[in-house]
Amino acid sequence: MIAALHQYAKLKATLKALVKSATFPQPRTDASAKLEDLSADAMARLQTSTDLPGVGRLRTTARLLKRHIRDALGSRLTDAIDKAGLTGVVRFAPQLGDGGVVKALWLMEEGGDWGEVGNGLRLAGQCDYCQLPITIDARDLQKHDTKTAYLSLPRVAAQWMIVGRHFVFRHADSQQDGPSPCVFRGPTTNEIRAIRDEPEFAVTLNPPLSTDHVHPLSQHPFQQHMKRDDPPVRSIIECTAGGQGGWRAIGPEYAEMSVSAFILDMILHHYTGSGVHFEAMEIEVHRGVRGGYLDTLLTRSPHTPLEGCSAVVTTEDGGTAYQTHLLTAFDDPFIAGVEFRVPPDNRQAVAVVLATTEQPVGSPDDAFPVRHPQTTARARRSLGVIAPVFLDGQTP
């Protein structure tokens, strides 16, 4: 009996160490190895009829410590969500078993940065395509059977496979418009698909891209500035009839600078045609004015947003280059953006478009900057030296 109680005390100490390690992970110690040091003989003694009181105490303690471990893991998961910058954006279902919690912890702590996906979800929430925070459950965690399966994909694509089903495209009247922007892995081909899990909705990650408009010795900007975990995308998926006709995969081929940009572009493209009222102004500006400000802006990394902007999306479609900067924050009451459009036949002329859902003020005859003061203030902040040319009509 004494020997059994001694082993019971050792086991209790080990379980306490496990509780501590669940909250504060640290390297393997002698204490963490003691579970393996319990001899078969000692365990046999605990199972004999003469040691029933010891067994009872062990079971009671084990239940208590199991609850403490579960609580500690839950607290650690909450901290991990916060450190990932996803507080208020993502949460995990409370019904997850111990294995699910451990998997969720791995995703938050070891699964890479969640910034791009977090911003995509915030924009979806701003467009009323989802209610934040979304709740990730066991079904979502099963999208990747193993860590190897998760790591076999570019990080952002792997993460959107987990969270994509939690928001759906809607019209301004709140009617649902078909599928959500899910990312799928083809069951037999292992290809990546978007919107629908159908072969024609396959997209190509890190595709070969035309270099017709760049120097012969240079790479395409999407490849030159490629992020390994968020590579360029080529697709033929489009939202038809201004967002009213659903999604199809028969459109002309286009390229996005990254997976995250592809998702953001789908959200913005649908939203602009969903019945929400946008007002816009457009002016053509030569890319060489004001010391070549636009030329510098359009030749730097396509991942770089303008000052104060929350996101940038760069697209090439039919030879035309589009770069859209989101002027508003994800918690603003309206959405505004500035787009630079460079046609293939005259790459020195840049169409600058400012669009917003901000409620207008003043008279309908007033100029756009007067009617939309908050949007104008954000554009003036972000457009730098060409802001007076664009907003005030100054001579270039």
3-state class (DSSP) for residue 105: helix
Predicted pLDDT of residue 300: 94
Looking at the DSSP bridge assignments, the partners of residue 326 are 311, 337
pLDDT tens readout for residues 158-176: 999 999 999 888 877 766 6
Once rounded to an integer, what is the mean pLDDT over residues 26-37?
A: 43
CA 385, 389, 390, 391 torsion-angle sign: positive
Spatial distance between the Cα atoms of 140 and 164, rounded to a whole number of angstroms:
9
pTM for the full model?
Answer: 0.82
> pLDDT class for 211, splitting at 50, 70, 90?
confident
> Taking CA 206 as the corner, what is the angle to CA 237 and CA 198, rounded to the nearest 5 degrees?
35
pLDDT in tens, 79-90: 999 999 999 999
Higher pLDDT, 166 or 216: 166
* Residue 146 and residue 98 in contact, taking contact as beta carbons nearer than 8 Å: no
Percent of all residues in the chain with a pLDDT value above 70, rounded to a whole number? 79
* Chain centroid offset of residue 375 CA: 25
How many Å apart are CA 86 and CA 80, to the nearest integer? 9
8: tokens are: 């019971």
What would the two tokens of residue 223 be? 């490849």
Dmax (CA) for the chain in angstroms is 98
Res. 178: pLDDT tops 80: no
* DSSP string covering 177-206: -S----EEE-TTT--EEESSSSGGGEEEES
Contact 23, 75 (CB under 8 A): yes
